[in-house]
Amino acid sequence: MAAHSTVSRDCEDQDKEYVGFATLPNQVHRKSVKKGFDFTLMVAGESGLGKSTLVNSLFLTDLYKDRKLLNAEERITQTVEITKHTVDIEEKGVKLKLTIVDTPGFGDAVNNTECWKSVADYIDQQFEQYFRDESGLNRKNIQDNRVHCCLYFISPFGHGLRPLDVEFMKALHEKVNIVPVLAKADTLTPLEVKKKKIKIREEIEQYGIKIYQFPDCDSDEDEEFKQQDQELKDSIPFAVIGSNTVVEAKGKRVRGRLYPWGIVEVENPAHCDFVKLRNMLVRTHMQDLKDVTRETHYENYRAHCIQSMTRMVVKERNRNKLTRESGTDFPIPTAPGVSDSETEKLIREKDEEVRQPPHTQTQEQECVTQECVDQECVMHDECVQESVQEECVMQEESVQEAEHCAELC
């Protein structure tokens, strides 16, 4: 009897201590399902490496239904385009808005110098647009068009990375998550696949290319998960085969390619790494790809953008101080707390101006002036912080205020 009562008391105690926020993941889950997810995937590589086929296979859709193949003359003058296809996919109540960004014309010309420039510009444009939206007043419905992942197709016909591959990846590795993929892997024997993967991994390291790194799994994960994770890391670049057709193999209908010498099954892990790639992209790492894009690539862009804007602003301000002109039009908000060596210099200069005739000032005045300088700094910071959230006009005023304050001191 006694034992029973203690147990029940324990339960009651537990109830009292139970707050209930363990249900948060479920709440988040429910909200996300309602809202739906979005994901932007870019595919890049020379023509004829099976990009469109792979995208169709990955998401089991037919994004590229009516492709118009250009004839010879049109192709000679073709430049690199950026095309976007959006499709809404729903599975078990979860909605995914998938955007595929394609780069037709990449690497096809005789002279391919800087053909990656339009791709890099596109990615920057998406970042810039998001930056403006984020800094704007109405942030309810921001469209996130930032590219979350770039699948770069490496040709299986070469001996590893080509000069074009290296240049492309180096130009983009700090803007987007690059996942290298070994295309048309059905032209390689298993030994050749292994050798090529090792060679490509060596070259990626040799050239200092930062491809997307899978996050290390936590130490408390079970062995099977860790092993899978390690296998995944060892499979880069993924040797993939895509197919738009369903064939019959051993009595089953599978997605595959029919050759006179056998049938290649796309979803057979012994044949290619397609399943690994799909699992990585969709089932396990989609959220991480988005997070890395948001936290690393986008923040890098934003910091870089703001730094260059600040330098512009400070230069303008210096010019204004000399000419006593007001009304400089700052296009974009200035940055808080980023290493503004020039602003510091200005502040130091003012400091010195103030301190110049020390014998005329009393201690008190010194304190006052010091306070003023401090205040100015504080005000400057505050103003700048505020201005990040506000329009240009507001900042202009605050900057003028700061200058006015400086003049007062």
Partner 1 sequence: MEEEKEVMEEMEVEIEDPLPCLSETDTQGIIKGRDLFGYVGIEAVLDQMRRKTMKAGFEFNIMVVGQSGLGKSTLVNTLFKSKVSRKSCTPNYEEKISKTVHLQSVSHIIEEKGVKMKLTVIDTPGFGDQINNENCWEPIVKYVNEQYEKYLKEELNVNRKRRIPDSRVHCCVYFLPATGHWLRPIDVEFMRRLGKIVSIVPVIAKADTLTLEERLEFKQRIRQDLQANGIRVYPQKEYDEDAEDRILNDKIRENIPFAVVGTDKEHQVNGNKVLGRKTKWGIIEVENVAHCEFAHLRDLLIRSHLQDLKDVTHNIHYETYRVKRLNESNANGLALSPLTLENGTLEKSEAESHL
Residues forming the site for partner 1 (CB under 8 A): 46-49, 69-73, 75-76, 108-113, 155-160, 162-164, 167, 184, 186-190, 257-265, 270-271
Per the CB < 8 A criterion, the answer to whether 94 and 33 are in contact is yes
Edge-to-edge strand list for the sheet holding 238-239: 83-91, 94-102, 37-44, 149-154, 178-182, 238-239
Query: Shortest distance, CB of residue 87 to partner 1, whole angstroms?
Result: 23
The count of C-alpha atoms lying within 13 angstroms of the C-alpha of 94, restricted to the half-sphere facing its C-beta, is 13
Beta pairing, strands 83-91 & 94-102:
antiparallel
Query: Shortest distance, CB of residue 233 to partner 1, whole angstroms?
Result: 22
The smaller minimum CB distance to partner 1, of residues 75 and 355, is found at: 75
The smaller minimum CB distance to partner 1, of residues 243 and 395, is found at: 243
The smaller minimum CB distance to partner 1, of residues 129 and 268, is found at: 268
The count of C-alpha atoms lying within 13 angstroms of the C-alpha of 356, restricted to the half-sphere facing its C-beta, is 6
The smaller minimum CB distance to partner 1, of residues 70 and 198, is found at: 70
Count of other CB atoms within 10 angstroms of residue 164 = 18
Cα 148 from Cα 130, distance rounded (Å): 13
> Vertex 73, ends 70 and 75: CA angle to 5°?
50
Query: Shortest distance, CB of residue 157 to partner 1, whole angstroms?
Result: 5
Per the CB < 8 A criterion, the answer to whether 266 and 274 are in contact is yes
Q: For residue 146, which phi and psi values (nearest 5 degrees)?
A: -65, 145
| 3-class DSSP state of 140 | coil
Query: Shortest distance, CB of residue 70 to partner 1, whole angstroms?
Result: 8
The smaller minimum CB distance to partner 1, of residues 13 and 62, is found at: 62
Query: Shortest distance, CB of residue 288 to partner 1, whole angstroms?
Result: 31
The H-or-E segment that residue 372 falls in is helix 363-389
Per the CB < 8 A criterion, the answer to whether 214 and 232 are in contact is yes
The smaller minimum CB distance to partner 1, of residues 158 and 215, is found at: 158
Query: Shortest distance, CB of residue 20 to partner 1, whole angstroms?
Result: 53
The smaller minimum CB distance to partner 1, of residues 258 and 367, is found at: 258
Look-up of token digits 């997810």: 37
Query: Shortest distance, CB of residue 201 to partner 1, whole angstroms?
Result: 16
Angle between helix axes 163-172 and 117-135 (nearest 10 degrees) is 10
The smaller minimum CB distance to partner 1, of residues 26 and 111, is found at: 111
Query: Shortest distance, CB of residue 388 to partner 1, whole angstroms?
Result: 41
For 17-40, b/e burial (b = at least 16 CB within 10 A) is: eeeeeeeeeeeeeeeeeeeeebbb
Q: Residue 3 burial (CB < 10 Å; 0-12/13-18/19+)?
A: exposed
The smaller minimum CB distance to partner 1, of residues 160 and 237, is found at: 160
Query: Shortest distance, CB of residue 239 to partner 1, whole angstroms?
Result: 12
Query: Shortest distance, CB of residue 59 to partner 1, whole angstroms?
Result: 21
Look-up of token digits 């800087």: 114
Cα 382 from Cα 111, distance rounded (Å): 52
Ramachandran class of 48: left when φ > 0, alpha when ψ lies in -120 to 50, beta otherwise: left
The smaller minimum CB distance to partner 1, of residues 22 and 72, is found at: 72
What is the DSSP secondary structure assignment for residue 158, as one 8-state letter?
S
